[in-house]
Chains A and B, each alone.
Chain A
Amino acid sequence: GQNIDQPTEMTATEGAIVQINCTYQTSGFNGLFWYQQHAGEAPTFLSYNVLDGLEEKGRFSSFLSRSKGYSYLLLKELQMKDSASYLCAVRSTNDYKLSFGAGTTVTVRA
């Protein structure tokens, strides 16, 4: 089966940096995705890593280490609107199916 772990909750201050870790144990690996989901809304795509290393997109960066089964999402210069759930999802085979972690709820405080 698929096992994807991420912390349940994190709290940070506006303007700060927060790092959300995700570890995975899957039967195969074909890419890792991060999505942002605000309460009651659908997830929106943030990043995709398939090779080791850091991918940077503005205030958001995502890192992957395939040998360690580990990824993190780094949110910089936090804004109040970044308060949301962040979902780590792994694609394990070539069929494009995603397995999601339970999500990390990030609360940004003034």
Chain B
Amino acid sequence: GAVVSQHPSWVICKSGTSVKIECRSLDFQATTMFWYRQFPKQSLMLMATSNEGSKATYEQGVEKDKFLINHASLTLSTLTVTSAHPEDSSFYICSARSDLQIGSDTQYFGPGTRLTVL
């Protein structure tokens, strides 16, 4: 149990375009989903927290108008990188947890999406 998927697994786009990344909890209802960014050889940096049906909470320094997060259902959250630039190239990882599950303290991670902006 506790499987989280992400789509796409990798994407290459041109500078100035927008990219949408999906995060799905496959076998549980995710009360909360988190979006992280990880640059090479660095640790995960939390970008934002989203709860189903409410606005995402962004960490300091993360532009909410650039990284649009939608958590429309208990199994799906999306991150849209708008007007992407080369410095946005990174590994984007989502995680999910559930209030409804035993072990609700644990976050389960998706496989990540590698974004390359040319």
Q: How far is the CB of B6 from chain A (nearest CB, A)?
A: 8
Inter-subunit contact A96/B107 (CB<8 Å): yes
Which stretch (B39-47, B68-76, B80-88) binds chain A?
B39-47
Inter-subunit contact A87/B43 (CB<8 Å): yes
- B78 adjacent to chain A (CB < 8 Å): no
Inter-subunit contact A41/B111 (CB<8 Å): yes
Interface residues on B, range: 20 to 34
Inter-subunit contact B44/A96 (CB<8 Å): no
- A18 adjacent to chain B (CB < 8 Å): no
Complex CA gap A102/B39 in Å reads 11
Complex CA gap A17/B106 in Å reads 26
Q: How far is the CB of A103 from chain B (nearest CB, A)?
A: 5
Chain A residues near B32: list those with CB within 8 A. 96
Inter-subunit contact A98/B46 (CB<8 Å): yes
Query: Looking at the complex, which one of A33, A45, A102 makes contact with B42 (CB distance below 8 Å)?
Result: A102
Interface residues on A, range: 20 to 34
Chain A residues near B49: list those with CB within 8 A. 95-97
Query: Looking at the complex, which one of A42, A87, A96 makes contact with B112 (CB distance below 8 Å)?
Result: A42
Inter-subunit contact A96/B111 (CB<8 Å): no
Return 13 A-B CB contacts under 8 Å, by A number. A31-B105, A33-B106, A40-B91, A42-B6, A42-B109, A42-B111, A45-B106, A45-B108, A87-B44, A91-B105, A96-B105, A97-B49, A102-B42
Residue positions of A touching B, CB distance < 8 A: 31, 33, 35, 40-45, 48, 50, 87, 91, 95-103
Residue positions of B touching A, CB distance < 8 A: 6, 32, 34, 42-46, 49, 91, 93, 97, 103, 105-112, 114
Given contacts A43-B93, A45-B108, A98-B34, 12 further A-B contacts (CB under 8 A): A40-B112, A42-B93, A44-B109, A45-B106, A45-B107, A96-B49, A96-B107, A97-B46, A98-B46, A98-B107, A100-B43, A100-B45
